[in-house]
Amino acid sequence: MLDSFIPVAGAHFLALLSPGPDFILIARGALLSGWRASVRVCLGVALGNAVFIALAVGGFALIAPGGLLFRAVRWAGAVYLFYLGVRFWRAASAARGGVVGVGGAANAAPGAGFLAGLASALLNPKNGLFYMSLFSVLAARATPTGVQALYGLWMFTVVLGWDLLVARLLIARGRAPGVLRHGPWVERVAAVLMVALGMGVLLA
Q: How confident is the model at residue 73 (pLDDT cuts 50, 70, 90)?
A: confident
- Cα 35-29-191 angle, rounded to 5 deg: 175
* Rounded CA separation 142/122 (Å): 28
Q: Which residue has the higher pLDDT, 139 or 21?
A: 21
Q: Which residue has the higher pLDDT, 67 or 31?
A: 31
* Rounded CA separation 41/168 (Å): 13
Q: How confident is the model at residue 155 (pLDDT cuts 50, 70, 90)?
A: very high
pLDDT in tens, 104-130: 433 445 588 899 999 999 888 788 878
CB 107 within 8 A of CB 37: yes
* Section 84-106 average pLDDT: 59
Domains of the chain, residue spans:
2-8+23-203
- At residue 132, what are phi and psi to the nearest 5 degrees? -65, -40
Which residues, including other chains, have CB under 8 Å from residue 6's CB and lie 6 or more apart?
none
Q: How confident is the model at residue 101 (pLDDT cuts 50, 70, 90)?
A: very low
CB 45 within 8 A of CB 163: yes
Single out the residue of 179, 195, 200 nearest to residue 28, CA to CA.
179
Quick one: three-class SS letters along the chain?
CHHHHHHHHHHHHHHHCCCCHHHHHHHHHHHHHCHHHHHHHHHHHHHHHHHHHHHHHCCCCCCCCCCHHHHHHHHHHHHHHHHHHHHHHHHHHHCECCECCCCHHHHHCCCHHHHHHHHHHHCCHHHHHHHHHHHHHHHHCCCCHHHHHHHHHHHHHHHHHHHHHHHHHHHHHHCCCCCHHHHHHHHHHHHHHHHHHHHHHHHC
| Measured distance between the N- and C-terminal CA atoms of the chain, rounded to whole angstroms | 35
